[in-house]
Structure 1
Amino acid sequence: MKAEMKDGAPQVVMNHNGNHGKFSHLLASQDRDYLLSPTGAQVKVSDLEGKVVGLLFAANWYPPCRGFTQVLAGIYEELKSRVPQFEIVYVSSDEDLNAFNSFYGSMPWIAIPFSDLETKKSLTRKFDVEAVPCLILLQPDDRKEHATVRDGVELIYRYGIQAYPFSKDRLEQLQKEDKVKRDNQTLTNLLANHHRDYVLSHTHTGLKKVPVASLVGKTIGLYFSAEWCVPCAKFTPKLISVYEKIKHELAEKGEEDFEVVLISSDRDQASFDSYYSTMPWLALPFGDPEIKNLVRHYNVQGIPWLVIIGPDGKTITVHGRSLINLYQENAYPFTKAKVEELEKQLEEEAKGLPALVYHQGHRHDLNLVSDGNGGGPFICCVCDEQGSSWAYQCLQCGYEVHPKCVRTVERDDNVLVDTTGCF
């Protein structure tokens, strides 16, 4: 999810010296021909000419901006050590100077001064920036085809430093490599490498090594998660419950066809050990190089994230979290046929739901909607989990909840009467 931004006013810019370079037109003003560096020094806008430049639209008040900035900073430092012809310019949407200073203090690149509101508005309008974080990547030569790349956030999450110089040719090459990886994907080349052919498992005496080869032929969930992540803390217990129910049902049939592997984003070994100790499944070792490869391969932009791999080693879905939220253990084995079957059941159940309810957690009536009549993917305002298909939605303010999360009340002369026993 991204935070919405307001559109800005147009502006014609020029620096003091009348420099008509590409970046001087974009980033200078009549009163300013410089940008700020993290040390507070002034950097001439003209110094950017001939470089690949990223315009980072972000704000301190929006958590995804802070998360992306942390990722981008690591890539920026690595690139700058090898490629001086690269730079990033921060275009702030912070609410005040203190917020700007606090957020910019975590950034290693240059920035438009917080006081220059007109230039920031001009850039927002020119590049149609409607949400943050947003990373616009500009080539030094406007005459090159596709000189402007607008989906820089996705590219950084997906490819990292490999995306440089963010040109059309480089991106096409990466897309071709992605296709080859998908076509040749196996569980072994996803989880193993030349130095490691195992994953970890709990035992009474500590961790043991489980050969990746022993997982081939099973349905595997790759669980991207971390101890520091608040949504993960809510989803992990639910996934544990579903996992144990699926394993129990399979064991009664004499089958061992399902497993989950933790792909950790924890920041240190102690956090990984603490978090993994609560889980009944397998894990990649902390800090394993394949973790970054898997994050890029599946374009993981937020956690928790659950990818389902089929017995043939191919990806069934990257929406495992949503399927767990919707169908719990009934989602297994997560195939398209199974999901279609469950959707039909949901359609039948929805026929018995009221078209309009008054929910105890909201001040307006909620309408029953589906994908076909105004619904779609959403975050439930009660349980904070993903949802899709059927929902109860407020047409006035966009409030949405899962049908199972609705707590209805009756209104009688402006008095709310509990009908669920939940008050």
Structure 2
Amino acid sequence: MKGDRTRWLLVCSLLAVAGALGLALLLPGSAARSAACAAPVGWLRIAGANGESVPANEVLARAAEADVVLLGEQHDDEDHHRWQAQVLAGLHALRPQLVVGFEMFPRRVQPALDRWVAGELSVPALLTQTAWEENWSFPAAFYLPLFEFARINRLPMLALNVDSSLTRAIGDKGWDAVPEQEREGVGRAAPASEAYRDFLFSVYREHAHGQGGRDSRGFRHFVEAQLNWDRAMAEALAARLASGQREGRAALVVGVMGSGHLRHGHGVPHQLRSLGVGRVVTLLPVASSEACHELQPGLADALFVLPPKPVLPVAPPRLGVQLEDAAGTAGGVRVQAVTTGSLAEKSGLLAGDQVLEVAGRPALKAAAVVSTVRAAAPGTWLPLRLRRGETTLEIVVRLPPE
């Protein structure tokens, strides 16, 4: 049973990466489209199997007439968050009454978001009171422009997510087995479409080490966990929309979340429709190198093609390890494998080591450890604190100079 749980937690983590970061299955013929087209930078509207440029004011004007606007992202791409800030500013100019919901926050931290918008918290206090590093594994600096925009304009911020322990519990034993009082008020999700199940199964099959088919209990729980995640965010958005309408304040409700929750109208848009919210607009950012094969009918209402990023003169540091989020309530990060000849091997890291701290900061999530290492300057001496069996070790990784 412990092995099954560990496999599930790994799969759940990978689903968060594959789904929330917007990694998609390519439709047949997408490679041919990629070779045959050259998408311009800026807004695109999908027309058949192709895209056509559309003025920004046209996209924003249509979005501003909706009830809910959903902005996708790849969590670790800073340009995606800059784009989100740009879209928020444009929407705010057209619909000053705006509410912004964030996947990054579980519902229990809503009071801290209210205090932030009211101007009562500093940035460090906001991150502490929302337990940012515990709840989200990506740099807060990526999101702070969005949070500051809300604070400066006194726009309500909405915590959309549930606690990760609920997602794990559903993945472990299924939605029905979780007591109602532990579901954080989330109702039963609308069933997934076959297309959504196909996508989820492709992720499950790739990362679950072949454990079970489409009819297996493991995959069923896997789907239920993802649907609950989608449903929780949809319910939070719909509830805020309804409360504003009752009070005669028809604010535009914007949701900021991973693109995997939005693509092709699956996930959150599907759950919103089941809740009676009909006027939903989905906008997604894409890299210029990915734009052509992303031109799939029904993917989104509009795409924003980002320009290529400048080539870095030096590749970011890599330790040469495979990391996974550790199972159990204590969490943490475990070294799954060490690459032969890598910096990690030369520094003395071994498979099975648990990373406790990186550069003096607690290692809570594998993605956060990767971000910390890659942000380190060339030539840095990077201290690690590890647990190996019953022993705690201090190791210094000497990153190569530029």
TM normalised by structure 2 equals 0.27
- Larger Rg: 1 or 2? 1
TM normalised by structure 1 equals 0.26
Higher relative contact order (CA 8 A, sep 6+): 2
